[in-house]
Structure 1
Amino acid sequence: MTFTIACLLTLISVDPLQRFEATQPHMGTSFAISLYAPDRATADKCFAAAFNCVAELNRIMSDYDPESEVSRLSSSSPHATPVQVSDDLFKVLWQAHRLSVETEGAFDVTVGPLTKLWRRARRRKQLPDATRLAKARASVGYKLLKLGPDDQTAQLVRAGMRLDLGGIAKGHAVDEAMAAIRTFGVTQVLVNAGGDIVIGDAPPGELGWKIGVAALQPDEPPSQVLTLVDCSVATSGDAWQYVELGGKRYSHILDPRTGLGLTRRSSVTIIAPSGLLADSLASAVSVLGPERGIELLDKSPTISGVMIVKAGAETLTHTSSEFPSVD
């Protein structure tokens, strides 16, 4: 009996996991982390490791920073010979290349010249003129980016090329933030970078984390609420970032094949094994549209998604075959 009581007292004295939260601005958005840890000291170590990791990735992948690795790679184009790049940059470029091939250029990180042109258009509230648009398009094309997987190199083969990792970098960043946190033995975690989310084990006593699927309008409640564990979620759409020019609404999401901002009102949410994959697919499906986009998602049993589209007065919802049922 004494042994039994001693064991019981030991179990009772164990401190339960506590919820901790922290937020920092990185990559043009807020990185918010929620986690369950045994104490504040452990939580603070997790937060520091995760945010330091994200800051370092921003120094590699930001096209706003002229000294970042990706900016230096772009500014030195065209390259006569391949250029060796960091592990993180190559991983992102390789995933981008695979998706570019699969979507026939609907996803393309060489879209940088067009991104720069449309940022200028949004500032000036004026459509890019045809001459500038044609010049920018001449420097865009995923086939112009040569990658060497054996020696981890990248080569931009045409003058004026510029990489833009805005549709994939945050996905990689949330993956790496989660990995940094897990080195401390903390696994009940959610990292959210402005809609790019990576999810760990379920919170104590719960089946999973509650994730809202974004509606078409920013002031509307989530169209669905899902309970998820051990996966990544990314949302892409024009609810917040768009410009109205010449009586037409243009999304910040560009179609690399036409050089124009999307005019289709949509919100895409993807569930995938990694943030890297979810983020890039959300951008790709936005460009492909509901028919080809859902067809792409249905090729893999580990990937699912939903695309909400404004069609005249109607709002249509298109889901892939593996998308989870609503709570």
Structure 2
Amino acid sequence: MKKVLVLLLILSCFGASAQVARKRTVKLMGSRFDITIVAADSLAAEQHIDTVIAEVTRIENLISDWKADSQISKVNANAGIGPVRVDPEVFALTERALHFSNITKGAFDISFAAMDRIWKFDGSMTEMPSPEAIKKSVEKVGYQNIILDKKHGTIFLRRKGMKIGFGALGEGYAADRCRDMMLARGIKAGIVNGSGDMSTWGKQPDGSDWTIGITNPLHRDTLFALVPLYQSAVVTSGSYEKFVVFNGKRYAHIINPSTGYPATGVSSVTVFGPSAETANGFSTSLMVLGKDAGLKLIKKYPNYTYILITDSGQIYSSRKLGLKNLTL
């Protein structure tokens, strides 16, 4: 259920300032991370970027399902065999992910990692998979079979062949962790952007807000909204770059883990709030749930706001954002 990157960061000219901003782009967690730190001088900013990279790497080594020695890989290797004890940090992340599964009734599910990749979005598909193949592709998926034992700090996957993977949720968690760590160290402004899971805090050196541009899903080379951010997180999920069309219906690359069918009806969801991890859970879930069920869900969480765009170009946004007369 990996999202696509649809955010463009707009940095204004820094100009003369007592502080400087430094930005570095690196590959972490298998994805692009853009790290911007505002500090008293360039050397301090670069040193703090090094600290952020080290923290993301630490988290990756704990939760990556692609690293054979990670705690999550050990959980997966013991699926159907026995529980595996994990660090409290990993346990808590899994617990929060299962909370999302519960409130979305399976539209969000970290056991999607065991899903058979029968849908191809590289132009090679000429016909839809059969209903039987689609059903079989998700037979090892099911958050109800992830058993957490809080007393012993263990995770157990009840069915053999099951797997869990955090994907973009892990990137959002890493972005949040690094933001909080930098704030604790007295760094008053910066951005940690993990492949579109973005945590920001403070302001640019010239005193202006960090600003993001929301891509127009119907015209990808244009923006239809600019939104200022302050100590906030933002995540966008979109289906307009990777999709297939059968019988006039568009199927997104984001798969519903409970059915095996691709999401339909929504082109883009951007979610704002205090946590990139939580915003990621909402953005992915709204893509899968669709407009009606998705908006009904997120409206229960007033700390999070949204911009949702349907395949037909209709725009829905939270009143709190104050975005009026939006058109594509």
* 2:114 paired with 1:117: no
For 1:287 and 1:55, the matched residues in 2 are separated by: 30
Alpha carbons 2:119, 2:129 under 8 Å: kept: no
One of 47, 59, 62 as aligned partner of 2:61: 59
CA RMSD of aligned residues (A): 2.6
For 1:176 and 1:57, the matched residues in 2 are separated by: 9
For 1:118 and 1:64, the matched residues in 2 are separated by: 20
* 2:21 paired with 1:23: no
State the match for 1:320 in structure 2. 318
Which of the two has greater helix per residue?
A: 1
For 1:165 and 1:19, the matched residues in 2 are separated by: 31
Which letter does structure 1 place at the counterpart of 2:75? L
State the match for 1:76 in structure 2. 78
Task: Compare CA radii of gyration and give the structure with the larger one.
Answer: 1
**CA-to-partner distance for each residue in 1:246-295, whole Å, 9 max, x for gaps?**
87643221101211222334100001111111111110111111111111
For 1:66 and 1:128, the matched residues in 2 are separated by: 31
State the match for 1:9 in structure 2. none
Question: What SS does the aligned partner of 1:164 have?
Answer: coil
Question: What SS does the aligned partner of 2:240 have?
Answer: coil
Alpha carbons 2:272, 2:279 under 8 Å: kept: yes
Of structures 1 and 2, the one scoring higher in RCO (CA 8 A, sep 6+) is 2
Alpha carbons 2:118, 2:134 under 8 Å: kept: no
Alpha carbons 2:265, 2:291 under 8 Å: kept: no
For 1:212 and 1:265, the matched residues in 2 are separated by: 19
Which letter does structure 1 place at the counterpart of 2:100? L
State the match for 1:277 in structure 2. 278
State the match for 1:6 in structure 2. none
Question: What SS does the aligned partner of 2:293 have?
Answer: helix
Alpha carbons 1:46, 1:180 under 8 Å: kept: no
Which letter does structure 2 place at the counterpart of 1:75? A
State the match for 1:41 in structure 2. 43
Q: Give 5+ residue unaligned stretches, structure 1.
A: 1-14
Alpha carbons 1:111, 1:162 under 8 Å: kept: yes
**CA-to-partner distance for each residue in 1:5-37, whole Å, 9 max, x for gaps?**
xxxxxxxxxx81111111101223211112211
Counterparts of residues 287-326 of structure 1 (less than 5 Å)? 287-311=288-312, 315-325=313-323
Question: What SS does the aligned partner of 2:320 have?
Answer: coil
TM-score calculated relative to the size of structure 1: 0.85
Alpha carbons 1:174, 1:198 under 8 Å: kept: yes
Would you say how many aligned residue pairs link Structure 1 and Structure 2?
A: 308
* Paired-residue identity, %: 26
Shift in Å, 1:130: 4.6
TM-score calculated relative to the size of structure 2: 0.84
